Structure 1
């Protein structure tokens, strides 16, 4: 049964930025700190619709740093130890490498592609970035030791989101205009399979055991609403298409694999799916874009415009929220959130 629940924010934390390239912002509130006290992730990294990267300490509820990459961001990936962030400046074809400990730009990797999203292989040896070159979709493989291009794998049209298996051997790439998912064998940098899905696929997330992929679609259901396609990764075939909210975009799977969370951009809701029955379990009135979860953590972390929000995965209630301000008082609109280590 679908239940709509009005969200009441417990407390909003106002944070000020003073125009430094790396600012130390602090909070006196405890709502976020209390909400995430049991999480295995210690940091949250956010980029928005501007040029800034923000690093949040989840245990203290503080913004540790704000780094300006000087170009509009479209994607973000973070190394396993949290010491390096890779900010995708998609429109100019650049990946900005950020030292999160020193809170500074360490290097810029320039490409001839229009880039979108990124993910780091679990062993940290490779960064994978989706992009389009002369109308053709690719996944670019970057050697993270040398910060140079190692390979380019041709995929479908206009690749956007991507996800990688825990062993790093399989990459699942969303082809937005190709209405498909390309499965890439990262060991030999070769496509293994192309799986047709409904129109306008957006993002993809994997179950903790890697056996299932979940793909959002902005208008992929018969009713015209958004949908989530469920894929059996062992057989590379579609199991189901589940209707969700309007404009389905961001997606994440709970640490135990029992729930799937979907942000619906147009109707301002977060849909909670039961992964076993593949049915809608709940719908939370919360306007979000990016969604993230962490191993051993019941919470869901969301990029909610000018704030970062923590949702209790058990109750569906907001447990905390951080209001975010851009450098020199500029607006900050969070669109992507990634969880990581202590740096």
Structure 2
């Protein structure tokens, strides 16, 4: 009798184990989560059910910055400045599964169509600035130009590397995904390439000394918004000929930019003035200014669109804002030199989202 009961229990356990595993995996895959890179602490995982730091993924003293998720949220790809590579993280276990060498100082990461596009800067030499040190330009006109590594995510292999301008920063795609557009701070240009081949298409010259940083496509795909950090403006480019159709003044040091999930509002973070600005998403008329933290560069809306999460590096925190009025609700701390932030399920933001 005891043998029979024991056998039955083992059979039941064997039957339930796969089901429990699949249930746990499914719960993970559907849970609302935010991932934020901290340049000195790793990758913070934020539980969006209670807006708390659930855990930190250790990637070593790598200086993680840019990050992007694959389509189903099972893998997170992080650019590591100190080690010059791209790490692949299993989001369920929090373990680094693979790494691929990129080059010196990889920074911005965008995943699209089974590939990761990673900017890196052979001419840059510094690690993240120490507390108390001012932010500085990453390279100069005499250094080698930046490059964009195109990584096949199935093999996690760099298939080609494309020379860009100096200090390539923001990355965006055309609505059909055939073109990639990047901002070049050091050259004051926007470069356009074929996404799959990296073949240059054209370069758009902007105001000298303006330092273009953020770039975001409009919800209808007909325009691109580019923030000009040193000019304290953003410009609107026509989606076809890339001519400037509008120039709008901002507060000091605009960087992160995105439309909200509805497309009705445009959000710009003026990091040097510690201000989040809201503009009309159609007319680009200024609507409001909201005080935020220090060195706030990147942000993401939550998947349900009710909150905005703002990574503020010099405040060592993520600010949580009510997306209806953009007032700060709370802060999530213990994230020193917070750099970038994305969510799963994906939502609109300065790094990911469309």
The normalised TM-score by structure 2 is: 0.76
CA contact (8 A) 2:106 2:120 kept: yes
Report the equivalent of 1:217: 228
Q: Report the Cα distance in structure 2 between the residues aligned to 1:175 and 1:163, rounded to whole angstroms.
A: 12
2:121 is aligned to 132
Contact 1:204 1:215 in 2 (8 A): yes
Indicate how the Cα distance of structure 1 residues 190 and 293 shifts in structure 2: closer, same or farther if over 3 A, else same: farther
Per the alignment, residue 165 of structure 2 pairs with 156
Question: Residues 299 and 165 of structure 1: is their aligned pair in 2 closer, same or farther, counting only changes over 3 Å?
Answer: farther
Structure 1 counterpart of 2:290: 284
Q: In the TM superposition, what whole-angstrom CA distance separates every residue of 1:188-233 from its partner, at most 9, and x where no partner exists?
A: 321222122232111212222222211112211xxxxx21111111
1:112 and 2:123 matched: no
Task: Report what 2:11 is aligned to.
Answer: none
- Once the two structures are superposed, residues 244-282 of structure 1 have per-residue CA deviations (whole angstroms, 9 ceiling, x without a partner) of 111112112111222111111211111111132222211
CA distance in 2, matches of 1:335, 1:299: 18
Residue equivalent to 2:48: 58
User: Aligned partners of 1:206 and 1:132: how far apart in 2?
Assistant: 24
> Aligned-pair distance for 1:306?
2.7
Q: Give a deviation string over 1:75-94, Cα, whole Å, max 9, x none.
A: 11121222111111124321
State the partner residue of 1:297: 305
Query: Unmatched 5+ residue regions in structure 1?
Result: 1-39, 221-225, 327-331
Q: Which of 235, 238, 250 is the matching residue for 1:244?
A: 250
Q: Verify the 8 A CA contact 1:41 1:294 in the aligned structure 2.
A: no
Match of 2:136 in 1: none
1:254·1:298 contact (CA, 8 Å) conserved in 2? Answer: no
Q: The residue matched to 1:46 in structure 2 has which SS?
A: strand
Assess if the C-alpha contact under 8 Å between 2:53 and 2:332 holds in 1.
no
1:49 pairs with 39, 61, 75, which one?
A: 39
Cα deviation for residue 239 of structure 1 reads 1.3
Q: Which has the higher helix share?
A: 2
Structure 2, unpaired ranges of 5+ = 1-29, 124-143, 347-354
Determine the C-alpha separation between the residues in 2 that align with 1:41 and 1:284.
30
Within 5 Å, which residues of 2 pair with 1:162-311?
A: 162-198=171-207, 199-220=210-231, 226-287=232-293, 288-293=296-301, 297-304=305-312, 305-311=315-321
Using a 3 Å threshold, how does the CA distance of structure 1 residues 67 and 108 change in structure 2: closer, same or farther?
same
Indicate if the aligned counterparts of 1:212 and 1:232 stay in contact, CA closer than 8 A: yes
Find out whether 1:341 has 2:330 as its counterpart: no
- By how many angstroms is 1:56 displaced? 1.4
> Alpha-carbon deviations, 1:95-130, whole Å to 9, x = none?
121111111111221133332211000x3x100011
Summarize deviations over 1:106-158 as a string: whole Å, max 9, x none.
Answer: 1221133332211000x3x1000112236122211000011100111222122
Q: Which of the numbers 325, 329, 354 marks the counterpart of 1:315?
A: 325
Residues 43 and 82, structure 1, Cα contact 8 Å, conserved in 2: no
1:96 to 80, 84, 87: 87
Scaled by the length of structure 1, the TM-score of the pair is 0.78
Decide whether aligned partners of structure 1 residues 187 and 111 sit closer, same or farther in structure 2, where only a CA change above 3 A counts.
closer
Offset from partner CA, 1:148-176 (integer Å, 9 cap, x none): 00111222122112122454322121111
Kindly provide the CA deviation profile for residues 8-62 of structure 1, in whole angstroms up to 9, marking residues without a partner as x.
xxxxxxxxxxxxxxxxxxxxxxxxxxxxxxxx98221101231410111212434
Change (3 A) 1:47 1:256: same
Q: Which moved more, 1:183-192 or 1:98-107?
A: 183-192
User: Does residue 1:69 correspond to 2:59, yes or no?
Assistant: yes
Query: In the superposition, relative to structure 1, how do residues 292 and 52 fare at CA in structure 2: closer, same or farther (>3 Å)?
Result: same
Report the RMSD for the aligned CA atoms in angstroms.
Answer: 2.2
Alignment partners' CA distance in 1, 2:47 and 2:154: 26
Taking the aligned partners of 1:240 and 1:246, their CA distance within structure 2 comes to 18
Which shows bigger deviation, 165-174 or 138-147?
A: 165-174
